[in-house]
Structure formats: C-alpha cells, structure tokens
C-alpha cells in the first residue's frame, strides 16, 4: 500500500505538490471539482472529477488505488469572501475536511497532511509568530481552518490517524520551468495581481490600507515560493510514514515584505510602472504576519531553496507572460 490522494490537486499549490510527488515516482490520484483548478495543471497521476466531501467516492479511491496518505488542499481561500459568506466557508472548508478525514479512517489510511493557514493567528501579539502562540482568527476563513485543525487533532488523539497541519504564509511564484503556475480566475494574491497588471491583464493594483503600524503603512507579509512550500509537503509525507507524531508546522521564510516593497520589486523586475490605487483596509486583514519557522527546520530538516523576492516575482511574471502568449 502506497501513494497519495491529493484533493484540490489541480489548483495552484496542489498542482505543484502533485508535480513533485510524480517526479519522485509516487503514485498519485488527484480529486478536484475544477471549480478553480485546471485539468492541464495535473502533470502526474490520475485526475478524478469530484468533491472532497463525497465520502463514498473518497473511500472508493483510497481503497481501489491502495493509497496510504491524503494531502488535503481543496478549500475556499478568499478572506473578504469568507467575511461576506461565512457559512459557505464553514461548509466548504470545515465540514468537507471532517468528511474527508472520516473516509480516510474508514479506508484504513493513517497519514493526513492538511493545508491550513497563518490566518489562524489573527493579529499576533508579536512577530514572528510560532506554532504555540495564541490562535485568534479574525475572519471566517481563518476560523474554518482552525476548526479543521481541531478536528484532526482530536481525531488523532482518539485513533490511528496521524496528521500534519501546515500553516501557510503568503504563497507566490510559479514552477521555475514554467510548466504550471497560479491560474485561478480573479485571484487576490498580491504578487499574482501585480504581475497580471504588469502584463496588461489588470487595470490596477489596489493597496488595501496605508495606515497600518508598519514602516511604510502598508501590510507586511511573509512570502514563500510555491516550490519551497511543495517541498515541505514531501518532507511531511516522509515524516509521517517514518512514524512521526501528529504536529503542526509554520511554512514561511521568517521575514516579511510590505505591500509597497513587493510592488517596487515587481516594477523593477518587469521594467514597467504599475497602475496603483490606494483603498481602505479590507475586513479581516492583520497589519503584519511573519512566520517563526524554527520547528519545521529543526524537526524536518526543511531548508528553503528559493528565499529571494526577486526570484519569486520573476517566476510569477514569467508564468503570466506565458499565459498572455498562449492567448495571443
């Protein structure tokens, strides 16, 4: 028995993990409803069109393919949308995680890697924030992820399922070879939005808030290249298969950049001036969010290979230019 079920594996982060799993010869089954993902982004394994909350389907896939692990990426992820429609987020994120974990247990799967978020911290008391710091999500998206973490924690404490929850910070960039990247329509991730504007796909880049208690008044975030994030998932899989106990890891670089610093970098790399408009703060956005990454470095030996803002921007920009050429 071996191999991985990847829910949401046709999406941005999931597709990069699927590619890395496939490149090391891992059997992979991708389950995705293609609501935001693309079939063309799945470069390895079998793609099954379906819902991560479909318990019967999930159990059938796990048993028929004799898979021993689940990586769960399928989720709604837009903070302002979660504020306006919280019940959808609890349904899509928390309830479907519960259904998926239940199906995994029924099928005898013991390894579960969950895509969580730094949004569980809310507005931290200090920066960088560590895994054991207080959890005070300030939006339904963050709360839906925290509820899922709690369900997995309690399930692991009462049975054989072991899990890792990975709290992502701000994911950006694309496959350095340009095969896959962020293709979600109307994406809200800053570097994605800025690179779309640099390539003429957007009319402007909004700056949400210029009065935060940060050096230049704009929000500060810890940006991590999607390739490094994907590699962390592979490390977690090996960790669980090696008998590792259930745990939680931050995944970031441990330092942050402000919105203005990011936009300056996109302008420098692209050689074009961005159309920027300052707007009011968005509901649910903390002033700063930077990871303490000591635990994942110590326990998994994880070391980022792409910790460079210009590299992150360059790969994201190359991906957007490729998309534009495909449409031309």
Residues known to be catalytic: 141
What value does the CA radius of gyration of the chain take, rounded to a whole number of Å? 19
- Distances, alpha carbon 179 to alpha carbons 15, 175, 183, 187, 323, in Å: 10, 6, 12, 19, 11
DSSP state of 129: B
**Which tokens belong to 152?**
């997995």
> Three-state SS for 139?
coil
Torsion of CA 217, 171, 308, 231, to 10 degrees: 150
Distance, in Å, from the CA atom of 10 to the CA atom of 229, rounded to the nearest integer, reads 16
H or E stretch covering 80: helix 79-84
Distance, in Å, from the CA atom of 113 to the CA atom of 234, rounded to the nearest integer, reads 10
Sign of the four-CA dihedral 63, 69, 72, 73: negative
Distance, in Å, from the CA atom of 73 to the CA atom of 83, rounded to the nearest integer, reads 21
């Amino acid at each position: 028995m071996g191999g991985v079920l990847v829910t949401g594996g046709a999406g941005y982060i999931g597709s990069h993990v699927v590619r890395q799993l496939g490149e090391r010869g891992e059997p992979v089954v991708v389950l995705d409803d293609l609501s935001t993902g693309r079939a063309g982004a799945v470069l390895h394994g079998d793609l099954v069109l379906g819902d991560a909350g479909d318990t019967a389907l999930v159990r059938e896939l796990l048993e028929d393919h004799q898979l021993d692990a689940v990586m769960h990426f399928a989720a709604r992820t837009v903070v302002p949308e979660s504020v306006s429609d919280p019940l959808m987020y609890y349904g899509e994120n928390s309830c479907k995680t519960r259904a998926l974990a239940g199906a995994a247990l029924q099928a005898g799967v013991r390894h579960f890697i969950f895509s969580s978020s730094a949004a569980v911290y809310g507005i931290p008391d200090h920066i960088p924030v560590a895994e054991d710091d207080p959890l005070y999500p300030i939006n339904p998206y963050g709360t839906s992820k925290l509820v899922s973490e709690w369900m997995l924690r309690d399930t692991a404490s009462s049975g054989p399922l072991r899990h890792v929850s990975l709290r992502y910070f701000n994911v950006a960039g694309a496959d350095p070879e340009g095969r896959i990247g962020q293709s979600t329509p109307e994406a809200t991730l800053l570097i994605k939005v800025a690179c779309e504007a640099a390539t003429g796909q957007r009319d402007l880049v909004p700056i949400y808030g210029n009065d935060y208690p940060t050096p230049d008044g704009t929000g500060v975030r810890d940006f991590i290249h999607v390739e490094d994030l994907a590699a962390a998932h592979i490390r977690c899989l090996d960790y669980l298969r090696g008998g590792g106990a259930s745990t939680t890891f931050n995944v970031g670089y441990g330092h942050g950049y402000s919105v203005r610093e990011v936009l300056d970098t996109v302008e420098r790399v692209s050689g074009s001036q961005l159309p920027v408009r300052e707007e009011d703060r968005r509901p649910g956005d903390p002033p700063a969010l930077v990871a303490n990454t000591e635990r994942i470095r110590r326990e998994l030996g994880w070391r980022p290979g792409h910790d460079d803002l210009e590299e992150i921007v360059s790969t994201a920009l190359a991906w957007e230019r490729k998309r534009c050429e495909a449409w031309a």
